[in-house]
């Protein structure tokens, strides 16, 4: 790669980063401004809005509940999805196409329809969880599932799961030892991407 091409690529990357950062910087500037009306720049800078926000007990309680529900849904998703994906990739690779269709179902159902169905389904019977955090965790699990599955699935395809397991078996490891000590550490990037994508979507 020539120096011109390198500089061109660096310039493009910097422009993309600048475009992505501008809305965030504008939001931060508005949050720190004393007043920002008809002028291009704010009239002054202050931290009193942040101090007032973090001093509001109602905000702290709401934030705590939101984080608890988000992390609960993410933990539930990982505990359920990771073993299932490991079994599918190792024993039933043909099911991957079916799973790719199934995980898109939460996006195909309108949120209003799914919320009414969930309320009807869980308002009575053996799982009467309407009005509890558990129904939100279940809803968030359905929303986060496509992000988690797709990110981890791409990572599994990149590490060549079968070869890793065969090598671990040749060295005397059992399947569960290979999954825990060989496969799982190689999936940490995919898991991190899945968690960050899902969290940024759910916390909104």
Contact 151, 188 (CB under 8 A): no
43 lies in the same domain as 98: no
What residues make up the domain containing 35?
Answer: 1-55
Can you give the pLDDT at residue 61?
Answer: 92
Nearest in space to 202 (alpha carbons), one of 116, 106, 81: 106
Tokens 């053996």, located at residue: 126
* Segment 153-171, tens digit of pLDDT: 888 888 888 888 888 888 8
What is the tens place of the pLDDT at every residue in 181-198? 888 888 888 889 888 888
Query: The domain that contains 145 carries what CATH number?
Result: 1.10.3720.10
Query: Looking at the structure, do residues 38 and 61 belong to the same domain, yes or no?
Result: no
Asked if 97 and 172 sit in the same domain, the reply is yes
Q: Is 46 found in the same domain as 90?
A: no
The secondary structure of 30-66 as a DSSP string is HHHBS--SSSSS-S-B-SHHHHHHHT-HHHHHHHHHH
Do 184 and 112 sit in the same domain of this protein?
Answer: yes
Examine the domain organization and report whether 41 and 137 are in the same domain.
no
Please indicate, yes or no, whether residues 100 and 43 belong to a single structural domain of this protein. no
Report the number of distinct structural domains present in the chain: 2
Where helices occur in the chain by DSSP H, the ranges are 3-32, 48-54, 57-91, 95-102, 105-108, 111-122, 133-159, 161-170, 175-178, 184-186, 188-202
pTM, whole model, 2 decimals?
A: 0.73
- 77 and 120 housed in the same domain: yes
102-143, pLDDT tens digit by residue?
887 777 777 778 778 877 877 777 777 777 888 888 888 888
Given a contact cutoff of 8 angstroms between Cβ atoms, the answer to whether 34 and 46 are in contact is yes
- The answer on pLDDT for 91 being more than 80 is yes
């Amino acid at each position: 790669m020539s120096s011109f091409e390198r500089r061109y690529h660096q310039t493009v990357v910097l422009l993309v980063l600048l475009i992505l950062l501008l809305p965030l910087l504008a939001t931060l500037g508005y949050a720190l401004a004393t007043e920002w009306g008809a002028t291009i720049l704010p009239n002054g800078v202050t931290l009193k809005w942040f101090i007032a926000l973090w001093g509001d007990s109602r905000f702290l309680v709401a934030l705590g509940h939101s984080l608890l529900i988000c992390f609960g849904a993410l933990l539930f998703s990982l505990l359920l999805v990771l073993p299932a994906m490991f079994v599918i990739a190792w024993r039933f690779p043909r099911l991957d196409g079916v799973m790719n269709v199934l995980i898109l179902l939460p996006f195909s159902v309108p949120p209003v329809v799914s919320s009414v169905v969930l309320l009807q389904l869980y308002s009575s019977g053996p799982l009467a969880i309407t009005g509890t955090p558990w129904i939100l965790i279940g809803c968030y699990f359905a929303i986060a599932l496509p992000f988690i599955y797709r990110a981890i699935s791409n990572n599994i395809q990149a590490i060549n799961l079968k070869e890793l397991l065969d090598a671990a078996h040749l060295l005397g490891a059992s399947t569960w030892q290979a999954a825990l000590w060989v496969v799982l550490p190689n999936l940490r990037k995919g898991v991190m991407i899945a968690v960050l994508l899902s969290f940024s979507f759910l916390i909104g």
